[in-house]
Amino acid sequence: MNQVICTVDVVLLTLSTDGLEVALLRREHAPFKGVAALPGGYIHADTDADARGAARRVLQDKTGIEAPYLEQLATFSGAARDPRGWSVSIVYYALVSLAMITQIERSDLVLASVDRLPPLPFDHVSIIETAVSRLRSKSQYSSLPCHLLSEEFTLPQLQRVYEMLLGESINKVSFRRKMTEMDMLEPADGHFDTAGAHRPAQLYRLKPAFHKQLRLVERGF
C-alpha cells in the first residue's frame, strides 16, 4: 500500500507599496527542483506536537521567521496534486511586515505579487488565492491587517493598509471611529513619526492581547 504524503505549507504574505505579495522559495529537491514554491515540508511525527507546531518549525527553518501571527487556512488533498503520490497538506498563512521579509538572508527567496503569480508547482496557485480571499474577507471586521505593519505605526499608515486590502477608500473619521470601537490599539508613549512634513504623528501598536489572536467586531467597514 502506498503511503500518504503528509506536509504543511505556509502562505507568507506581506505588503509593499505595489500591493500584497507572497514569499516563495526555490525548491531544493525534486519534484520541481529550482521552481519557486510556498515554504513547506513534511510533518515530523516524532517531534512536532501538532500541525501548527510543524508549520511554525517549517517557517522558522526555511525563512528564519517566527511569525507573529499564524492561522490555519485549510487542508488540501488528493491524488493529483503531487506527482509523488496521494498527498495531504495542512496549510497555514502568516502575515509579516515588509521589513521582516527584507531581513531574510536567502538568495532563493522570491517575492511575487498575488495578482501576478508566476507558474507554481502542485496546487500552490489555488492555495495562495484561498489565503488572499480569507485575508481580504477578514480585513473587513478584524485586526488582521495590523500584522502587515511594523510593531509601531501611525493611524494613516494603518488606514492605508486597510484600504489596499479592501480595494476602496475609507473615510478618515469613519476609520478612526472603527478603530475606537475595536479597542485594539494603544499609543506608544513618547513615540512619534517625524518623517513627514507635518507635525509629528503619534505611533500606535497592537495591544498585547491581540498579538496571537484577532480582535473581531460584528459590523465591518
Q: Which domains does the chain have, with CATH numbers?
A: 5-138 (3.90.79.10), 144-210 (1.10.10.10)
CA 10, CA 40: separation in Å to the nearest integer?
Answer: 6
pLDDT digits (tens, 9 = 90+) for 115-138: 999 999 999 999 999 999 999 999
pLDDT digits (tens, 9 = 90+) for 3-38: 899 999 999 999 999 999 999 999 999 999 999 999
pTM: 0.93
Q: Which amino acid is at 110?
A: V
